[in-house]
Each structure stands twice: as structure tokens, then as C-alpha cells.
């Protein structure tokens, strides 16, 4: 869904600027064309009502009074402050949310580097690598199910992950039999499974006999004590980052802030229509040319107001279906391929 125009804007030439300006997907024009069409129709309707219905009649005076009342309404300064504040906070949350989307290959590469092949048989090692890749994938899917409607539609129930081989029936039963409510987040459970999986294969470098004397452990460990601590630390770091994604979803910007900005922008656009008619009436000319000139003089500011509003509405939740929202389905597919390539390359080559 995310619109990538970096290649088009790679060179700061006039042609590159024109190409970027007239792109449609994710563009300003796609965001505001409906509102601008409604604004144009309202302005033309008011002009037609005055010119062809009320001009020269007794009701003209009341129409002029209405226009004059809106002529001195100060809106631009307050509106610019509101728009700047809302857009800044929305962009900050959007960028911070993206920074929280940690990459699972960091954990996978660390595990592959520390993994001791002598600690288990070749078959056990391959099975453990497959399980590790699968649990990291489940971790992401369970998180995205809680914040993204597209992923929720892909896997509406936990049972839907059994057929693709993402979860086993036993693992689904464990998740469903948890003491947590069905609506509570379970994204951290696969991390707990990974910790227990590595912990079962971890052996302390030294053991103590019955006499309390320390001697070297004859059993091979999956990784050393220092490596085990670093691996668990990296795993917790990943869980903490993606946990923050859920926190941003739980605590959005105050709804009253978005409502205030939306109402204020649309009210300002409506008032601008009346103010334009007041200027046309004051000039003594009410022809098509005067209306066209007034439209051109007001259009940039109206587009600016609408663009700030629509940008804030789009990026306030980056896990929706807007053009600039995060591509969660692509991320899941990408993580599955990368994890399999790192941890089980032989299986990845068979699939190719």
C-alpha cells in the first residue's frame, strides 16, 4: 500500500518534479478531490442563487447581510495553529510506530551464529530451526491481528493458522486455553515458547557433584552462558519494540482533537464561500469572470487546509487501507521468506 516515489524524485529536475506532482496514487489530488468538488459546487450554487434568483428583489438585502456577517470572521490564524499541531503529532506517531516495527532477522541471525550443532542431532537441529522460524512468524501475525484489519481478515480465528502450517493444533489449544480473555493480546506467547525451547537445550558450563565440587558439564549446550544472555536480551528487545506498536494502537490521539480540526476546516471552507460572494457583491460585478478570479485567489488556501486535514486523517492509523499505510501482508510474507532463508535454507531451496 505504501507509495514509493523515491526513484521518480531521485534527480531534482523540473521533469521529475512534474512527474511527482501529477502522480495519482497516494497524492494530494486523490485525497481532496471530493471535498474540492463539493466546495466548488457550493460556491457556484450560492452565486447562481444570488445572480439568478435574488438580485434585484426584496430578498437581496437579506442575502447581502448574511454575506457581510461572514466577511469579517477571523479563521486562518487559529486554523493554521490547529492544523500544524495535529499534523505534527500525527507524523510523529506515524514515524515512531514505524521505528517500532523490529526486524526478526536480527534474532534469527544471532541464533544462527550462537547455535552449537554438537548439542543435538542433525534432525533435531533442523527441527528446532524450523520451529524457531515458525514461532517468530507467529509472533508477528498475532501482533498484526490486533492492530490491522487486513491481517485479521486473513486469519479471523486462530484455527485458520493450522492449515497453512503456521500453528499446530496443540499450539492453538494452548493459546485458546490460556487464562487470558479471548480479546486479550497473545502476541508475546510465541516469545515465551522460544525462550523455553532454547532453555531446554541450554546447559550450564559447570555442574556440582554430590560433594559440592564443581566440574565441567559433559553435555554440550546449545550456546554459551554469555551467548544465551545476549540472545534473550535481543529477544526481549524485539518484544518490547513490537509491544510499543500495540501501545500506540491502544492509546490514539484524543478523538476530540481530530473532531475539532475536521469541523473547523469544513466550517472554514463554508465560510470562505460566503466571503467570496461578499467580495463579489461589494465589487459591484457578479459575472462569471469575477467568480472565476475569486476562486483562483481562494483555491490555494482551501487546498492547503484540506491537505493538512486529510494527511492527518490518513496517518493517524498506519495499519488501515489507505495508500500510505504500512503493508502488513507484505511484511508477513517477507518475514516468512527471510526467516526460512536464514534458519532453514535447505527447505527454502526446495520450495524454489
Residue 188: other Cβ atoms inside 10 A: 15
CA separation for the pair 111, 104 (Å, rounded): 11
The model's pLDDT over 135-152, given as tens digits with 9 standing for 90+, comes to 999 999 999 998 988 898
Residue boundaries of the structural domains of the chain: 35-98+254-315, 102-252+332-344
pLDDT in tens, 212-268: 677 776 677 888 888 889 999 999 999 999 989 988 888 888 888 888 888 888 888
Note whether 189 and 243 are within 8 A (CB): no
Cα–Cα dist 186/171, whole Å: 12
Query: What is the structure's pLDDT at 27?
Result: 83
100-125, pLDDT tens digit by residue?
A: 988 999 999 999 998 888 888 888 88
Contact between residue 114 and residue 231 where contact means Cβ atoms under 8 Å apart: yes
Q: What is the pLDDT of residue 267?
A: 84
Q: What is the pLDDT of residues 157-187, one digit of tens each?
A: 888 999 888 999 998 888 888 766 766 788 8
Strand partners, 208: 214
pLDDT in tens, 64-90: 777 777 766 666 667 777 788 888 888
Q: What is the C-alpha separation between 245 and 123, in angstroms, rounded?
A: 36
Between residues 96 and 76, the one the model is more confident about: 96
What is the spatial distance between Cα 215 and Cα 204, in angstroms, rounded to a whole number? 11
Q: How many whole angstroms from its chain centre is CA 200?
A: 37
Cell numbers representing residue 220 in the block:
554440550
Residue reference for cell 499541531: 85
pLDDT of 111: 92
CB 82 within 8 A of CB 253: no
Q: Report the C-alpha gap between 134 and 128 in whole angstroms.
A: 10
Q: How far apart are CA 151 and CA 136, in angstroms?
A: 16
pLDDT digits (tens, 9 = 90+) for 255-302: 888 888 888 888 888 887 777 777 776 666 666 666 677 777 777 778
Residue 322: pLDDT band (50, 70, 90) is: confident
CA dihedral 33, 34, 38, 44 (to 10 degrees): 40
pLDDT tens-digit profile of 1-55?
A: 577 777 777 777 777 778 888 888 888 888 888 888 888 888 778 777 777 777 7
Which neighbouring-strand residues pair with 207? 215
What residues have CB less than 8 Å from 132, skipping those under 6 apart? 108, 111, 194, 197, 343
Amino acid at each position: 500500500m505504501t507509495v514509493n516515489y523515491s526513484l521518480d524524485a531521485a534527480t531534482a529536475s523540473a521533469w521529475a518534479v512534474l512527474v511527482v506532482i501529477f502522480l495519482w496514487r497516494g497524492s494530494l489530488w486523490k485525497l481532496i478531490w471530493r471535498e474540492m468538488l463539493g466546495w466548488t459546487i457550493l460556491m457556484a450554487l450560492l452565486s447562481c442563487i444570488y445572480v439568478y434568483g435574488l438580485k434585484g428583489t426584496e430578498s437581496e438585502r437579506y442575502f447581502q447581510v448574511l454575506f457581510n456577517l461572514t466577511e469579517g470572521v477571523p479563521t486562518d490564524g487559529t486554523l493554521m495553529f490547529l492544523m500544524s499541531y495535529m499534523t505534527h503529532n500525527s507524523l510523529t506517531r506515524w514515524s515512531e510506530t514505524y521505528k517500532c516495527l523490529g526486524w526478526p532477522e536480527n534474532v534469527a541471525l544471532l541464533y544462527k551464529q550462537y547455535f552449537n550443532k554438537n548439542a543435538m542431532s542433525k534432525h533435531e537441529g533442523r527441527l528446532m530451526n524450523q520451529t524457531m522460524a515458525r514461532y517468530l512468524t507467529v509472533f508477528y501475525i498475532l501482533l498484526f491481528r490486533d492492530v490491522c484489519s487486513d491481517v485479521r481478515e486473513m486469519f479471523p480465528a486462530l484455527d485458520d493458522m493450522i492449515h497453512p502450517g503456521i500453528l499446530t493444533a496443540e499450539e492453538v489449544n494452548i493459546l485458546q486455553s490460556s487464562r487470558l480473555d479471548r480479546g486479550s493480546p497473545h502476541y508475546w506467547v510465541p516469545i515465551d515458547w522460544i525462550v523455553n525451547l532454547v532453555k531446554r537445550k541450554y546447559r550450564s558450563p559447570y555442574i556440582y557433584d554430590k560433594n559440592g565440587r564443581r566440574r565441567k558439564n559433559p553435555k554440550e549446550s546449545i550456546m554459551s552462558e554469555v551467548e544465551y544472555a545476549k540472545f534473550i536480551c535481543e529477544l526481549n528487545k524485539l518484544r518490547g519494540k513490537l509491544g510499543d506498536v500495540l501501545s500506540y494502537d491502544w492509546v490514539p490521539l484524543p478523538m476530540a482533537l481530530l473532531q475539532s480540526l475536521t469541523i473547523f476546516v469544513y466550517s472554514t471552507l463554508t465560510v470562505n464561500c460566503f466571503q467570496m460572494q461578499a467580495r463579489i457583491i461589494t465589487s459591484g460585478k457578479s459575472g462569471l469572470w469575477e467568480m472565476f478570479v475569486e476562486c483562483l485567489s481562494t483555491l490555494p488556501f482551501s487546498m492547503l487546509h484540506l491537505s493538512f486535514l486529510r494527511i492527518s486523517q490518513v496517518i493517524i492509523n498506519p495499519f488501515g487501507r489507505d495508500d500510505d499505510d504500512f503493508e502488513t501482508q507484505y511484511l508477513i510474507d517477507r518475514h516468512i521468506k527471510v526467516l526460512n532463508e536464514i534458519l532453514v535454507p535447505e527447505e527454502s531451496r526446495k520450495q524454489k
